[in-house]
Structure 1
Amino acid sequence: MSETPPAEWPRLSTLSTGLRCRCPRCGQGPLLKGFLTIRDACPVCSLDYGFAEPADGPAFFAMSAIGVVGMIAFMAFEFTVQPPIWVHFAVTFPLIALACVLVLRPFKGWLVSEQWIHKAAPPEWASLGKHGE
C-alpha cells in the first residue's frame, strides 16, 4: 500500500485570507471561533494552528491605524463644526473605540496568516561563548 504524498498547497494572499479570517493554508476553513479565539485546527485542511501567537499585535495595529484616522477625523470635525466637548464624549470617542474593536478580527487574521507564510517560530537562544556557565 503506497502513501499519498502530502498535498501541495498554493501560497495564498495573506491579506485576503487574513482579512476574511480564513485558514492561511487552504483559505476555506474559519480561523477564529467566537470573537477573537483562534481554533485548534482548520476544519477543512486540518492545519494545526499551534504556531499562531499574534499576542498584542492586533491591538497595537488597530489602535495605531484607527488612532491616526480617528484623530484626523476628530480634528476635522473639531475645526469645522466646533461642537461642545460633550459631543466628543458622546459621539467621537465611542466611535473611535468601536472602530478599534471592529478591526481586531481582521488584524488578528492577517497577523496569523503572516506567521504561517513566514514560518514564524518561537525564538531559540544559543550561547556562542561561555556566557552563563
Structure 2
Amino acid sequence: MSTDPDQIYVKTNRYLGIYEKTHDHNRWNFNQDKAMILLKEVEATKHRNVRTIAKAIGKSRQWVYIYLEALASIGAIEKVDGYYQIISKERVWAIGSNIKKGILKIERTGANDPVITGSIKAKVVTIS
C-alpha cells in the first residue's frame, strides 16, 4: 500500500481508497488545508474542468474530482456558466461530513432545472 494517499487511483469504491492508522480506513481523510489550496486555485483562475485544476495544483484528476464533490456537497463551490465558482469558504471545516455522490454531474447537466427534468408525455394514436 502506498504511503502517499494522494497518489492512489481507485476505479470503483473510490471512497475506500485511503488507509491511515489514525483514521477510519473506510473513508477518505479530507484535509481542510488541501481543500483551501483547491479553493484558492478556483478563486484565482476560471476553470471549466477537473483536468486544468489538477494540472495547476499538481494533483490527480480523481483527487480533484473527489474534493470538488465534497466541497459542492457542503455548498462551498458550484459550477456557474460552465466555470467552477466559490460560494462560501465558511463550511470548509465540514468537508467530507456528507458527500452527495454525483452532485457535480447534476449541477453540470442542470438536472435541478424543472424545465429540463419535466416529464415528457406522449400520446399514442392507433390508426385503424
Give the TM bin, normalised by the shorter chain: under 0.3
- Greater fraction helix: 1
Pair member with larger Rg:
1
Flag the structure with more relative contact order, 1 or 2, with Cα contacts below 8 A and sequence separation at least 6. Answer: 1
TM-score by length of 1: 0.26
